[in-house]
Amino acid sequence: MRSLDQFAQAKLARLEAGSLRRQLVETTRGEGAWVERNGQRLLSFSCNDYLNLSRHPAVIAAALEATRRHGVGAGASRLITGNHPLLAELEARLARLKGSAACCLFGSGYLANAGLIPALMGEGDLILLDELAHSCLWAGARLSGARVEVFRHNDVAQAASLLAARRPPRGRAMIATDGVFSMDGDLAPLDALADVAEAHEAWLLSDDAHGIGVLNDGHGTAHPRVPLQMGTLSKAVGGYGGYVCASAPVVELLRNRARSFVYSTGLPPGVAAAAIAALDVIERDPAYAALPLAKARAFTVAAGLPLAQSPIVPLVLGEAAAALAASRALEAEGFLVTAIRPPTVPPGTARLRFAFSALQPDEEIARLAALVRRLPAQP
Ligand SMILES: *Cc1c(COP(=O)(O)O)cnc(C)c1O
C-alpha cells in the first residue's frame, strides 16, 4: 500500500527533524552492570534490573528447573487451563510483601494497568491522574471511558479541588499516580493523597514499578492506605510480568473482568519461578536491596544534584538535541546513559536519566559524577 508507507515515512521524517526519532540499538549484557554496544564495553546506567537479579544464579536455576518440568508456555489464559500452581504461590508472596490480602498477576505492568482501570471505572466516572503518571496509567484511564482530569505533579491540593468540582453525580472516582516517578525518580505523597482519597471516597491507585525490591527493604512504596497497589516484575525483580495487590473481592473482580487478564495467556511457569526466587533474594538480603538507592545518593552528592529519593536520577537538559549530545559524550567515556525525550517526558524537559544498580563500581560512579558536573548547566 503506497499511501500506508508514505504515511509512515512522513511521520518518521518529522520525528527525525525534531531529534525525536528512536532507534533500536543491539545491546548485550555482560557481568554486573556492564554491557556491550557497537563493539564498545559500557557501564550501563540505563537498565531497570536494579539488583541484577535477571542474572542471579538462583533465579536462573529456578527458571530452568520450572521450564524443564512444566514447559515454556502456560498454554492458555488462566481461566481456561493456564493456571499453574506457581502463579498462586507468586501471588501469595507479592500480597505478603505489599501487605495486601490478595494479588492478581498480569502479563506485564502495562497490561496490569490496561486491565485494572477499565475493570473498575467506566463512563460517568472520574479519574484523576498526576501529570507525570506513566503511559500505561493514561492508557488504562482512556480505555475505561471515564472522564480523565490531570493534576499538577504531586499537587495534592489541586487533586482535592478537582475531585470536589469535577466528580459527576453518583460517579465513582479514582486517583492514580506513580509511587516512584519513572522519569524523575521522586516519590508520590501517598499519605496526603490517601487523606484526599478517603475524604472524597475516591479509590487510590499507586504504580510501584520502580519501588518494589529497592525501597523500604524491598517493600517499595507499599502503603496500608493505598487499596490498589500495582507494579511490575520486570525491573528490580529481574524477570517479566505485572501484578495488582488489593483486597480479596477486588482481585476476584479483576479475575472476572480485567480484559488483559481474562483474554491473555498466563505467565510462563519459568517466569513465575524466577520471580519467586528473586523475591527470596530480596527478602533475605535487605542490605543488598538497599544498594541502588545508596549508590544513587552518593552520585547526587558527588555531582551536586538534589539528593536522590530512589535509584532514578534525572538531569533535565531541555531540548532533545542537547540530551542526545550529552548522552553521546558520556558514551565516549564508557557510560551508557540513554537520553529520554518527548513524548516520554514533557516537551522542553529532555534529559539524561541515570538508573543506579547494585553492582555498579563506586569508583566508576565517582568518575561519572565528575563528568556530569562538567555538562552544560540545566536550563
Ligand atoms: C515500566 C513501567 C511500567 C510497565 O511495566 P512493564 O512490566 O515493563 O510493562 C508501568 N509503570 C511504570 C511506572 C513503569 O515505569
- d(CA 19, CA 289) in angstroms, rounded, equals 37
Q: What is the pLDDT of residues 40-66, one digit of tens each?
A: 999 999 999 999 999 999 999 999 999
78 vs 92: CA distance, rounded Å: 16
Q: So what's the pLDDT on residue 169?
A: 86
The answer to whether 125 and 173 are in contact (CB under 8 A) is yes
Task: Mark out the alpha helices in 121-258 (DSSP H runs).
Answer: 135-144, 156-166, 190-199, 248-257
Question: What is residue 55's DSSP assignment?
Answer: G
- Half-sphere exposure of residue 46: CA atoms within 13 angstroms, side-chain side: 21
pLDDT (tens digit, 0 to 9) for every residue of the chain, 379 residues total?
A: 799 999 999 999 999 998 889 989 999 999 999 999 989 999 999 999 999 999 999 999 999 999 999 999 999 999 999 899 999 999 999 999 999 999 999 999 999 999 999 999 999 999 999 999 999 999 999 999 999 999 999 999 999 999 999 998 889 999 999 999 999 999 999 999 999 999 999 999 999 999 999 999 999 999 999 999 999 999 999 999 999 999 999 999 999 999 999 999 999 999 999 999 999 999 999 999 999 999 999 999 999 999 999 999 999 999 999 999 999 999 999 999 999 999 999 999 999 999 999 999 999 999 999 999 998 755 5
Residue 37 DSSP SS3: strand
Torsion of CA 162, 164, 167, 171, to 10 degrees: 140
Chain-centroid distance of CA 240 in Å reads: 12
Tell me if residue 23 falls in helix, strand or coil: coil
Count the alpha carbons within 13 Å of 312 in the hemisphere toward its beta carbon. 26
Q: Which three cell numbers stand for residue 352?
A: 539524561
Architecture of the domain delimited by 58-284: 3-Layer(aba) Sandwich (3.40)
Report which DSSP code applies to 316: E
Please report, for the chain, the start and end positions of each structural domain, with discontinuous segments joined by +: 22-50+311-373, 58-284
Cα separation, 146 vs 217, in Å, equals 36
For 358, the 3-state DSSP assignment is coil
- Residue 321 alpha carbon to ligand 1 centre in Å: 26
Find the residues whose C-beta lies inside 6 A of ligand 1.
108-110, 134, 136, 178, 182, 207, 209-210, 232, 234, 242
The DSSP code sequence of 45-78 is SS---TT-GGG-HHHHHHHHHHHHHH-SS--SBT
User: E strands within 172-239?
Assistant: 173-178, 203-207, 228-232
Q: In this structure, which residue's CA is closest to atom 12 in ligand 1?
A: 209
- Taking domain 22-50+311-373, whether its CATH number is 3.90.1150.10 is answered by yes
Q: Tell the residue nearest (CA) to atom 10 of ligand 1.
A: 109
Residue 104 CB: number of other CB atoms within 10 A? 27
Q: What is the pLDDT of residue 377?
A: 59
Could you tell me the strand order of the sheet in which 335-336 lies?
A: 27-29, 34-37, 40-44, 335-336
pLDDT of 168: 87
Atom of ligand 1 nearest to the CA of 240: 7
pLDDT at 19: 86
Catalytic residues, by residue number, are 182, 210, 235
Report the separation in Å between the CA atom of 207 and the middle of ligand 1, taken as the mean of its atom positions: 8
